[in-house]
Amino acid sequence: MLAKTLLILLGLIALTVPVAAALGWLGLTMQYLESPMPLHRAIGDMVWQTSKDFLLVAIPMFILLGEILLRSGIAEKMYDGIVKWLGWLPGGLMHANTGSCALFAATSGSSVATAATIGTVAIPQIERRGYNERLFLGTVAAGGTLGILIPPSINLILYGLLTDTSVPELYLAGFIPGFMLAALFMLTVIVLCLLRPGWGGQRIQVTWAERIGALPSLLPPIGIFLVVVGSIYAGLATPTEAAALGVIAALVLAATNRTLSIEMLRQAIEGTMRTTSMIMLIILAAVFLNFVLSVIGLTQALADFVTGLGITPMQTMLVIILVLLIVGCFMETLSMLLTTAPLIAPIVIALGFDPVWFGILLMVLLETALITPPIGINLYVVQGVRERGELVDVMIGAAPFVVTMIGMIALLLVFPDIALWLPGLFY
């Protein structure tokens, strides 16, 4: 049954059927093949029960927050400020790419928005300063993935919703791994540029006075981060309410920056509606698919299969990681999260693993899927911003960071407190 499900799903993806439609058709197909009951009659009630969940309101709020930061010019100023603080390292602007992605991820919650925003600002610098183009593009694609892991993250909200795990705990758990992964990306660039000095482009010379003068451009995103995350842990707001506070803060900053206008708001709201519609359609299709898989017994069959292997919990976890790495090459990350988390999380918890820890591990696996061909979304986003050359350049440039992410997965396996230490202090 599992093999049949995977074959049908991969076949639909290979035919370039849109993700939401592929998940919905898979649910209907499995219903007719495996269940005598007309499960499709439950779609209406299921859509209503899912879409009225208050936590989901955070999704359009965080998307709108990112849109406002992008269109108000705040992101560009932030990038220039980080260049002055990190540009002296071997690799120059490539560190600014990673640092800007980490900081922008801490406000927008979206990997695609992060890659698109920083890519728009950074990519024109490649030829001006003589960087190795492939590696430079790879830093943007890989840095953009940090939006999944660093709070506030839309994917962490969805994981919490799917597995009934505390979102504030997940946010705390994502801090250290998120910024640690950003540091490992920068270390990867340093090592490569020391081995191949020509890849690092022209060194950027900046005085301390210029660095101090650039600090005001870094304050807006940090301020928004403190408003969003600080309000959650101060007990003043839920994640959804915190997202709304972030939007208000972004509007105030845009007004202060003198870029707040009706046209800017129209573009931001239009972009938010387009992205939110896509995400919600995928969520609703995935909820129906998971319902069908549960009713036909696939969820229980998978659990029985895993427990019947007769291997240790850690060996089982290694098998799960290997499977998810392979699946990530062929599935878009949101659909991967929505289809695999409800199936795998109960098995992982039954094996004795912490659901918060597994949530962070799963986010790193999703990050890896964002830059692994052939379906790595961030690869296409960066290539789309680049608007020239071949997609294979971005793939090759991102390859070293795939290795770095696998290293991060290994660290989480060996040292689970990387993710669990902060939540353990507060919960």
> What is the rounded distance in angstroms from the CA atom of residue 292 to the CA atom of residue 49?
16
> What is the rounded distance in angstroms from the CA atom of residue 185 to the CA atom of residue 404?
7
Look at residue 205 in the predicted model and tell me its pLDDT.
Answer: 80
Look at residue 13 in the predicted model and tell me its pLDDT.
Answer: 67
User: 272's torsion region: left (phi>0), alpha (psi -120 to 50) or beta?
Assistant: alpha
Distance of CA 396 to the CA centre of its chain: 20
Look at residue 29 in the predicted model and tell me its pLDDT.
Answer: 80
Look at residue 384 in the predicted model and tell me its pLDDT.
Answer: 83
Look at residue 414 in the predicted model and tell me its pLDDT.
Answer: 96
> What is the rounded distance in angstroms from the CA atom of residue 276 to the CA atom of residue 46?
19
Residue 391: C-alpha distances to residues 138, 163, 315, 334, 394 (Å)? 11, 36, 36, 22, 6
Look at residue 365 in the predicted model and tell me its pLDDT.
Answer: 95
Look at residue 73 in the predicted model and tell me its pLDDT.
Answer: 79
pTM, 2 dp: 0.85
Question: Any idea what the Cα angle at residue 331 is, between residues 328 and 332, rounded to 5°?
Answer: 105
Residue 268: C-alpha distances to residues 76, 149, 250 (Å)? 16, 24, 12
Look at residue 173 in the predicted model and tell me its pLDDT.
Answer: 95
Residue 66: C-alpha distances to residues 17, 98, 222 (Å)? 28, 17, 14
Burial class (CB in 10 A: 0-12, 13-18, 19+), 321: buried
Question: Any idea what the Cα angle at residue 147 is, between residues 144 and 148, rounded to 5°?
Answer: 115
Over its C-alpha atoms, the chain yields an Rg (Å, rounded) of 21
CB 336 within 8 A of CB 328: yes
**DSSP assignments along 14-44, one per residue:** HTT--HHHHHHHHHHHHHHHH-SS-GGGGHH
Number of other CB atoms surrounding residue 202 within 10 Å? 12
pLDDT digit string (tens) for the chain, length 427 residues: 666 676 777 677 667 677 677 777 777 787 777 666 666 666 777 777 767 777 788 888 888 888 888 788 787 788 888 888 888 888 888 998 899 888 887 776 677 778 887 888 888 878 777 788 899 999 999 998 888 888 888 889 889 988 989 999 999 999 999 999 999 999 999 999 999 888 887 777 888 888 888 888 888 888 888 888 888 888 888 888 988 999 999 999 889 888 889 999 999 899 888 888 877 887 788 777 777 777 777 667 777 777 777 788 999 999 899 988 988 887 778 878 888 888 899 889 988 999 999 999 999 999 999 899 877 888 888 888 887 888 899 999 999 999 999 999 999 999 999 999 999 987 7
- Token couple for 391: 């997609």
